[in-house]
Structure 1
Amino acid sequence: MAEFGKVAVIGAGVMGAGIAAHVANAGVPVLLLDIVPDGADNRNTLADTAVARMKKADPAPFMSPRAAKLVETGNLEDDLDKLGEVDWIIEAIVERSDIKRDLYAKIDGVRRPDAAVSSNTSTIPLATLTDGLSDAFRRAFMITHFFNPPRYMRLMELVTGPATEPEIAAKVADFADRRLGKSVITAKDSPGFIANRLGVTWIQLAVGQAVEQGLTVEEADAVIGRPFGIPKTGVFGLLDLVGLDLMPHVGASLAAALPEGDAFHTSRRELPLVERMIAEGYTGRKGKGGFYRLNREDGGRQKEAIDLSTGRYSPVQRPRLSELEGVRNPRQVLEDTGRIGRYAFAVMGGTLAYAAHLVGEASDDVAAIDEAMRLGYNWKQGPFELIDRIGGAYLVERLKEAGEPVPPILETLGERTFYRVEDGRRQVLQPDGRYADIVRPEGVLLLADVKLGAKPLLKNASAAAWDIGDGVVCFEFTSRQNALDEEVLTLLGSTIKLVKRNHKALVIYNEGTNFSVGANLGLALFAANIAAWGEIERLVSLGQQTYKALKYAPFPVVSAPSGMALGGGCEILLHSDAVQAHAESYVGLVECGVGIVPGWGGCKEMLGRWQAPGALPGGPMPAPSKVFETVSMATVAKSAEEAKDLKFLRKSDRITMNRDRLLADAKARALEMVDGYQPPAPHTYMLPGPSGQLAMKMAAEGFARRGIATRHDLVVAGELANVLAGGGCDLLDEVDEDTILELERESFMRLVRTTATLDRFESVLETGKPVRN
C-alpha cells in the first residue's frame, strides 16, 4: 500500500481547500498554501480563512475536528521551501496554463526528486501544462482531477503523459484509492477528460433543447430524471447545485479545446436567459436561486421554478405527463412519438451517441466511461449500461433515421450488449469487438460479483445469506431502503444457526445506498391502525431475541455499514463484535424523533459503552445522562469518525475509506477474530433509579421551556428516562440486560399506542420527516 507522510495543496479556493480537508480526513498531515494578498496583515489569510470556513460548513468537508488539526496553513512566499518536506504536491489554482507553469517552475526548484506533482485542472491538457518544463518535472507530473465536494464525490480522473514515471503515478493512484477512498479512472490527455466532457454535453443538450422545444423546467427534469436513472435533482436542479456561473466557463474551455467537427459544439446554444440570471446573481443555491428558488416573502418558503421563455418565477408545478405514468424503462420514453419522446431522444440519444464517440478518444475502456458518469454525475447507470437497457441496435436505427453519424463502437456492437455474464464473470465489450472480464483491483470484493456465480445459502423476501469464501457468510438486507421487518429478523436468526453449524464468521453488509434506515414504520403503522398490539409486541420481542443471539453467537460477527445506519440498523452495529465502517457512515438511534424509544437493545448497549472503564467519571448517573442526551435528541453521527466520538462505534472499530473495499476489509477483520474467539460475557449495570429518572425529565423540561422540545417530546423523553434509569431499581441494585430489554419493550409499547406517535409515523412515511407535535 502506498503511503505518503505529508501532502501539500496549493490553492485555498473551494476545490483546493476541500482536497486538503479530505487528505486530512485520511489521517495524513497536509500543508495548504496560497498567495499573500496585497496589504494583508495576516500573510496566511487565504489558507486560514479557508480552514475556518470549512470548520463551519454544512455539508462538512472535515470528518472530525481531529482532521482539521492536521491542516497546516501557509503562503507561497514564506513557506515555499516547505514543499521539500512533502511526498505529493497538488496544484489547485486558477485555470490559466501560464500561471500554472510559473508555479511549477518554482515547485521544481524546491521539491524532493521523488515527490509526485499533480494538477487538479478539469480542462487544460497535460501537454500544455508541462510545455517548457524540465524532464525531471515531467516525470513526476500528472493530472488528478477531483470532483466537488472532494470528501463526498468518489471519482478521481488520473491523466498521465508519455514522460510520467509509471511508479509515481501508481503510488498516487493507490493512495487516492485506499486512503482517500476514490475510484481512480484513467483518462486520456484529451479536453475535459471523461466525465466533464460527457456531462457538460448532456447538460448543454438538456437546457438548450428544453428552451427550443418549449418544455418547462419541471417537465424537462421529469423526462430525463427517473426513467434514465438520473438523480432527483434532474439537470436543472443539478445546475443550481453546482452553480450556473461555473458551466459557461467549463463549456467555453471545452469549446476552445475541441476540434471544429466535434459533436460537443452542436450541443452549445446561446442562452440569454442564463446570462441574465448569472448577471443578476441567480447563480443557483449559492446565490439568490437559480432555475429553482425558495421564495421567502411574507415569511413563507414557496419553491418556485423559472419560466424558460419569460424568465418569471412561479410556484413549482408537478408536471402532468401521462406519457411518463408508470414508466421506468428508458426505451419507453424514447419511443414516445410526441414532444416527450422528441425531447428525450434529443438529450439522451445525443448524449449516449457522444459517449460512444468518446471510446478510443477519452478512454479505451467502456466500463471506465460508465464509472465516470456514475460517480461524477451520480447517474444510477453509465451511458453504456443505459444503451444495453435501450438496445444498441435500436439506438443505431434512431441515429440513422435522424441522419446522425453512428459511432464505430455501436457498429461493432451490432445486436449484442456491452456487458454480459459468462461463467459467473461480468464481461465488457472491447473496441476490437471481443469481450474481456472486468477485473477488480486487489482488495476489492463486491457482493454483486459474488451473486453472478452463486446461489444464496438462505433467502426470503427481505434478506439473503451468501457464502463469500473462507468460511465467512455475508448477511444482506434486500428490503426497500433495507428497512428491517419480521422477514429480516427471522432470516438473521436462521443465518446465525447456519454459521454456527457450518462456517467460521458472519459479516452483515449490503451494497444499497444505505445500510439500513431502521424498522419498517409502514408495517408498524398498519398493525397499530388495526389495533394488532400483540403483533407489534411480538416483533419487538423477536428483534430483542435475535440481536441478543447475534451478540452472544459463538463466532465473530462484523457489521460493515455505509450510508445511513439508523434505529434498528444502528442497533445491529451495537450488537456486533466489531464494525468495519465505510468512512461515510451516518449512524444514530433516531427512534425518539419518531415518537418511540430504541426497542431492540440500543439503550442497554449504549449504557454499557458509556459505563465502560475510563469512558466517564464513576457513579450510576453519568452514563445514563450521556445516553439520554444523545438518544433523546435523535443525534446522528455525520461520519464514521464522529460515530466513534458518540460511541455508536468503538475506538477499536475500523474505517474503510473506499466503499468498494468495505466487504473485503470486513471479511478480513472477521477472519482475524476466528482463532480463540470467545463471545462477550453478560453485562450488568449500575443505574440511578427514580432519582436519576427525575433528573433526566427535568433536563427535557428545560429544553421544552427553550422551545427545543415539544409536548410529545416530553412524553417520549420520560419513557426514555425510565429505561435508562433502570425503572424503579435501587441505587445498590445490579440490573441485568434482560431487565433493560423488558423496560425498552414496555416503554415502546406504551408510546406506540399514543396518537401523537402514530401521527409521527404517518408524517415520516408521507414526507420523510416527523411532525413536530
Structure 2
Amino acid sequence: MGDRIGRVCVIGAGVMGAGIAAQVANAGVPVLLLDVAGEGPDRSAIAREAVARMVKAEPAPFMSKQAAGLVEIGNIEDDLTKVALCDWIVEAVVERLDVKQSLYARLETVRRPGSAISSNTSTIPLAKLVEGRSEAFVADFLITHFFNPPRYMRLLEVVSGPKTRPEVAAKVEAFADRAMGKRIVHAKDRPGFIANRIGTYWIQVAVNAAMDLGLTVEEADAIGGRPMGVPKTGIFGLIDLVGLDLMPLLQKSLGSSLAPDDPFHASLRTLQLVEKMIAEGHIGRKGKGGFYRINREKGGVREVIDLVTGEYRPEIKSVPPKGDLAALVATKGKIGEFAWGLLGRTLGYAAALVPEVAEDIVAIDDAMKLGYNWKFGPFELIDQLGTANFVRRLEQEGSAVPALLKLAGERSLYRVENGRRQYFGLDGEYHDIVRSEGVLLLEDIKLGSQPLLKNGSAALWNIGDGVTALEFTGKMNALDSDVMELIAKAIPLVQRHHKALIIYSDARNFSAGANLGFALFAVNIAAWGEIEKLVAAGQQAYKALKYAPFPVVAAPAGMALGGGCEILLHADAVQAHAETYIGLVETGVGLIPAWGGCGEMIDRWTHSGRLPKGPMPSVARIFEIVGTATVSKSAAEARDYLFLRDRDGITMNRDRLLADAKAKALSLAEGYVPPEASQYRLPGASGRVALRFAAERFHRLGLATDYDLIVSDTLAELLSGGSADLLDDVSEAELLALERQGFMARIRDGRSQVRIEHMLETGKPLRN
C-alpha cells in the first residue's frame, strides 16, 4: 500500500463527518462519504443531502466547487466494500461504544490490510474502542479528533494506542498536516483528551463564577474575553456558538469517566437557567438565540439574557478592563475576583494535567490556542501572571499547587536562549521547541536576529539561503507611506546581497489594504497633495517590485484586500495559504484601485484564454469583479477571479507557508529575468458606454445606489482607457495616470468620505 494516502473514506455524514470529508476533498483527494441506508428509493440520501447542505452552507465547508465533485456518496449497507479502495478510513458516527464496535467488526471483513482506521471520538478511550478486534486491526487503529468546523479549525488531536504501528500513525499525521492543513498535537488516551478537557472545565468555572459574583453576561465576557486573549465572542458568546445543548452532554461524558477526585466534578452544577433555556429552544445561534439573541421583532436589537431573572433585555456594552493580566487579577472588587477565579482554577487545572494528558506544556498550549482560538495558551498566561506570583496566590487561598509549578519555582515556563524558544519540562530543565521538518516561522527567526531594515509599518528580515522577507507590521497590516518607503530601500539592498524577496507576515491577515485612517485624516485637513503623493508612491513601489532584478514571491494568508491584493498582482509568483481571502474592494468605500491593480488584472484576463478575444470581454469581467468588490472565499476560489494564476501555489498548512514560499523563490532565482513592460488594448469610448449600461441595469434592479453609479463610471473610464481610441495602445504609465486621476476624483467626493468614515467606525460598507 505504501505510505501515501490517495483515497479516504469517512463513515458518518453528520456535521463533523461531512466536514472532515469536505476538507479531504479540499486537499484534492477523492473521498467516499458513507452513512446508514435510507428507507426511500435513494438509499444514500443521508450522505447526498449532507453534501448538498455543505455546497450551500456559509461559512462554506468546501473551498471550491471542484472540491465538492471529489466526494463520492454511498451507504454502509450497499457500499461498505468500497472501503477496500481506501488508504484511510475515518469513523465519525454517533458517540456510542456499541455502534462503533459493531461498525469495526464489519470493517474488519472488508478493509484492505494495512489501511489506517481512526475514530473521531472525543470521549471514548481507544482501549475500549478496539476491544474484540484482531491484532492487525488494533495495529492500524488510532484516534484522530478533529474540531468543528474541520475546514477552519487547525487542531487535530492524535491518540495512538500501545499497539498502533508507528508507520500508520506517521502516514495519517503527514497527510493531515500537509494535505488537510492541521497542526498535530499528540494527546494521551484520557477522557476529553486535551482541549475539551480543559475547555469544558474553563467554561463551567466561568459560568459558575459569573453567577456567584452577580455579573452580567456582558461583564463576564468583557473581563474573560479579550483581556485574557479569548476570542471576541467571550465565554457566553462561545457557548452560544457551540450550542448550549452540548454542555450537558460534555459534562455527563467527562463526569462519568474522570476520577472521583478530579477538580472537574467540583465545577459541575445543575443550572436551572440553562435547563430552562435548552427546554425552550434557546440553545444558541443554531436555535432561537442563547445568552445573546437578535430580536427581529424589535428591529434587530441585540439582547442578552439576565442571569438572575432569565428574561431577555437590550445588551449593555461593557468596556474591557485595561492593563496587563497581573493588574487585572489584582483589581479590587468583582472584576478582580472573577478574573482570578477564572484564571486561577483554569490554569491550575491545566498545570495539573501534565503529564496526564500530554507530555509537555507546549502540546497543551497548542491545543487551547488551536482548538479554542485562545491567543495565549494556559502556560503562556501563567508566565504573564508570573509563575511565583501565581503559585503564591494559590497557596494563600489554600488551593493545591501542581507539581510542575512547584518545580519551576521562580522560573518562567518559557524562555528564549541563544535565539531559541524553550519550554520548562518535568525534569526541571529547559528544552528547545522543535518545529516539524518543513515548518518555518518568522517569529522564530526574529528571536535570533535583527531586521535588515525597519520602520513604523514594515520590516525586512534575512530568512537564510539568500532570501529576504518583507513584513508589514501596522494595525491589520495596513499599507502607508512607511511601507512604500521601506520597499524603495529594500530593492537595492536585496539586489546587492540576496537572491529573492518574499512578502509575508505571521499575522492572521496579510493586509487589509491602504491605511484609511490616514486617508480620512488627510481629507479632513484638505491635504490633497499628500494623498496624491501616497497614491503615486504606491504605484512606484509596486512597479519597482514587479520589475526588480530578482524574483518577488508574495505569501498571503487571511485577508489580502485592496492594496494588499494589488501587491499580490505585481509579484512574480504567489504561494498562498488555503484560507486566503483576496479582493479589490475599493469601490465599497467609494474609491477605485489605484496601485496598478486594474492594469495587472487586464493583463491576466486578456492572456488567460478563458474569454473570447478582443478588449471588451476581459474589461467587462474585471468591471464586474472590481465593481462589486468581489472577495474570494478561499485561495482556490481566487483562481476563478485570476487574483491567483494556475501556476501560483496553495499551501494547506499555515505553518508551512513561509518555507513553501522560500522554496518557490529559490526555484525562480536561478537565471531570473524581469518581465517586460505591459501594453494594453482597451475598448475606448464605446466600451465605456457598454459598461455604463451594465451598471445602470444593476441600478434599475435596486442592486446599486445612485453613488454606486458614479463610482462605477469612474472605474469604467479607467478600464476603457480614458480618451484612448479602440485602436490605440495604452501604456502602463498612462493607465497609472488614469488610476490616480480617478482615485483623486472619488476621494474628493463627500459621499466617498462618508463611506470611509463608516468603514473605519463599523468595519462594514455603507450603501449611500
TM bucket (normalised to shorter chain) is: over 0.9
Equivalent in the alignment of 1:542: 537
CA contact (8 A) 1:185 1:372 kept: yes
State the 1:367 CA deviation: 0.5
Q: Counterpart amino acid of 2:621? A: K
CA distance in 2, matches of 1:152, 1:40: 34
In structure 2, what residue type is equivalent to 1:582?
Answer: H
1:5-84 to 2 correspondences below 5 Å:
5-37=6-38, 39-84=39-84
Task: Supply the distance in 1 between the matched residues of 2:705 and 2:570 (Cα, whole angstroms).
Answer: 31
CA distance in 2, matches of 1:115, 1:371: 29
Contact 1:7-1:89 within 8 A present in 2 as well: yes
Give the drift of 1:174. 0.7
Amino acid paired to 1:743: L
Please tell me the residue identity of whatever aligns with 2:657.
L
Counterpart in 2 of 1:425? Answer: 420
- In 2, are the aligned partners of 1:2 and 1:175 still within 8 Å (CA)? no
1:212-265 superposed Cα distances (whole Å, 9 cap, x missing partner): 221110000011111111111001001111111112111110000101000111
State the alpha-carbon separation in 2 of the partners of residues 193 and 455 from structure 1: 39
1:456-475 to 2 correspondences below 5 Å: 456-475=451-470
Counterpart check, 1:318 vs 2:317: yes
**Secondary structure of the structure 2 residue equivalent to 1:593:** helix
Q: Give the aligned residue type for 1:137.
A: F
The Cα shift of 1:703 comes to 0.9
Give the superposed CA RMSD.
Answer: 0.9
Cα pair 1:609 1:615 within 8 Å, conserved: no
CA distance in 1, matches of 2:293, 2:418: 51
- Between 156-165 and 681-690, report the one with greater CA deviation: 681-690
* Cα deviation 1:714-756 (Å, max 9, x = unaligned): 1110000000000111111111111111101100000000000
CA distance in 1, matches of 2:526, 2:544: 29
Moved more, 741-750 or 126-135: 126-135
1:721 aligns with 716
Amino acid across the alignment from 1:367: V
Tell me the SS of whatever aligns to 1:506.
strand
Q: Which AA in structure 2 matches 1:118?
A: S
**Counterparts of residues 566-581 of structure 1 (less than 5 Å):** 566-581=561-576
Q: Name whichever of 263-272 and 351-360 sits farther off.
A: 263-272
Distance 2:26 2:15 in 1: 16
Contact 2:188 2:357 in 1 (8 A): yes
Distance 2:610 2:489 in 1: 35
Residue deviations 1:373-408 (CA, integer Å, cap 9, x gap): 000000000000000000111111111121111100
Tell me the TM-score normalised to structure 1 length. 0.98
Q: Secondary structure at the match of 2:639?
A: helix
Contact kept? 2:302, 2:315, Cα under 8 Å: yes
Does structure 2 retain, via aligned residues, the 8 Å contact 1:477–1:510? yes
Task: Say whether the 8 Å CA contact 2:577–2:651 is kept in structure 1.
Answer: yes
- Does residue 1:337 correspond to 2:332, yes or no? yes
Deviation sequence 1:656-684 (CA, Å, 0-9, x none): 00000000000000000111111111121
The CA deviation at 1:268 is 1.4
| Structure-2 residue corresponding to 1:553 | 548
* Partner deviation per Cα, 1:621-643 (whole Å, 9 max, x = no partner): 00110000000000000000000
CA 1:647/1:248 → structure 2, altered by over 3 Å: closer, same or farther? same
Q: Choose the corresponding residue for 1:490, options 472, 475, 485.
A: 485
What is the letter of the counterpart of residue 322 of structure 2?
A: G
Q: Which residue of 2 aligns with 1:444?
A: 439
What is the CA-CA distance between 1:347 and the residue it aligns to? 1.3
Q: What's the offset of the Cα at 1:325?
A: 4.2
CA distance in 1, matches of 2:344, 2:595: 50
Cα displacement (A) at 1:502: 1.0
Of the three residues 359, 375, 394, the one matched with 2:354 is 359
Deviations 1:186-205 (A, max 9, x none): 00000000000000000011
The one-letter code matched in structure 2 to 1:551 is K
Q: Report the CA distance between 1:615 and its aligned residue.
A: 2.7
For residues 12 and 215 of structure 2, what CA distance do their matches in structure 1 show?
Answer: 41
1:567–1:591 Cα contact (<8 Å) kept: yes
CA contact (8 A) 1:496 1:550 kept: yes
For the 8 Å contact 1:2–1:174, the answer to whether it is kept is no
> Structure 1 residues 206-215 or 581-590, which shifts more?
206-215
**How much does 1:41 deviate?**
2.0
Structure 1 residue matching 2:181: 3-state secondary structure: coil
| Alignment counterpart, residue 629 of structure 1, candidates 601, 608, 624 | 624
Partner residue, 1:772:
767
The aligned counterpart of 1:605 is 600
C-alpha separation in 2, matches of 1:401 and 1:675? 65
| Partner secondary structure for residue 20 of structure 2 | helix
Give 1:326 shift.
2.7
Give the AA of the match of 1:291: F
Aligned equivalents of 2:187 and 2:430: distance in 1? 21
Match of 2:300 in 1: 301
- What does residue 194 of structure 2 align with? 194
Q: Distance in 2 between matches of 1:114 and 1:616?
A: 48
Q: Which runs of 5+ in 1 are unaligned?
A: none
SS at 1:436 equivalent: strand
Partner of 2:381: 386
Partner of 2:679: 684
**Corresponding residue pairs, total:** 767
Residue range with higher mean Cα deviation, 273-282 or 623-632: 273-282
Flag structure 2 segments of 5+ consecutive residues without an equivalent. none
Q: How does 1:512-531 map to 2 (within 5 A)?
A: 512-531=507-526
Q: Deviations over 1:297-317 (max 9, x none)?
A: 05x110000001111000100
Preserved CA contact (<8 Å) 2:584 2:626: yes
For 1:343, the aligned partner's letter is: F
Q: Is the Cα–Cα contact under 8 Å of residues 25 and 62 in structure 1 kept in the other structure?
A: yes
Partner secondary structure for residue 658 of structure 2: helix
Q: Distance in 2 between matches of 1:405 and 1:337?
A: 24
Structure 2 CA distance, aligned partners of 1:492 and 1:393?
45
Query: Deviations 1:606-654 (Å, cap 9, x if unpaired)?
Result: 0111100513101110011000000000000000000011100011000
Q: Report the TM-score, using the length of structure 2 for normalisation.
A: 0.99
Map 1:646-661 onto structure 2 (within 5 A): 646-661=641-656
Distance between the aligned counterparts of 2:682 and 2:307, measured in 1?
64
* Contact 2:37–2:76 (8 Å) recurs in 1: yes
- Write the letter of the residue equivalent to 1:270: T
CA drift at 1:40? 2.0
Alignment-mate amino acid for residue 151 of structure 1: R
Structure 1 position 319, deviation (Å):
2.5
Structure 2 CA distance, aligned partners of 1:326 and 1:249?
A: 36
What is the CA-CA distance between 1:563 and the residue it aligns to? 0.1
- Aligned amino acid, residue 64 of structure 1: S
Distance 1:142 1:412, change over 3 A: same
Distance 2:685 2:264 in 1: 72
Q: Deviation of residue 2 (structure 1)?
A: 5.3
What's the counterpart of residue 183 of structure 1? Answer: 183
2:128 alignment partner, SS class = helix
CA distance in 2: counterparts of 1:628 and 1:503, whole angstroms? 39
Give, in angstroms, the shift of residue 770 of structure 1.
2.3
Distance 1:154 1:237 in 2: 21
Deviation at 1:581, TM superposition (A): 0.1
Aligned to 2:101: 101
Give the one of 495, 498, 504 matched to 1:509. 504
CA distance in 2: counterparts of 1:8 and 1:377, whole angstroms:
27
- Checking the alignment, whether the CA contact within 8 Å between 2:223 and 2:321 is kept in structure 1 is no
Does the C-alpha gap of structure 1 residues 750 and 174 become closer, same or farther in structure 2, counting only changes over 3 Å? same
The answer for the alignment partner of 2:471 in structure 1 is 476
Shift in CA distance, 325/129, structure 1 to aligned 2, threshold 3 Å: closer
Q: 1:168, 1:690 → 2: CA distance?
A: 64
Deviation at 1:43, TM superposition (A): 0.1
The runs of 4+ residues in structure 1 deviating greater than 4 Å are none
Q: Does 1:284 align with 2:284?
A: yes
Any residues of structure 2 matched to 1:677-716 within 5 Å, and which?
A: 677-716=672-711
C-alpha contact 2:588 2:766 (8 A) present in aligned 1? no
Is the contact between residue 191 and residue 257 of structure 1 (CA under 8 Å) also seen in structure 2? Answer: yes
Q: Contact 1:27/1:70 (CA < 8 Å) preserved in 2?
A: yes
Specify the SS of the correspondent of 2:615: coil
Amino acid across the alignment from 1:52: A
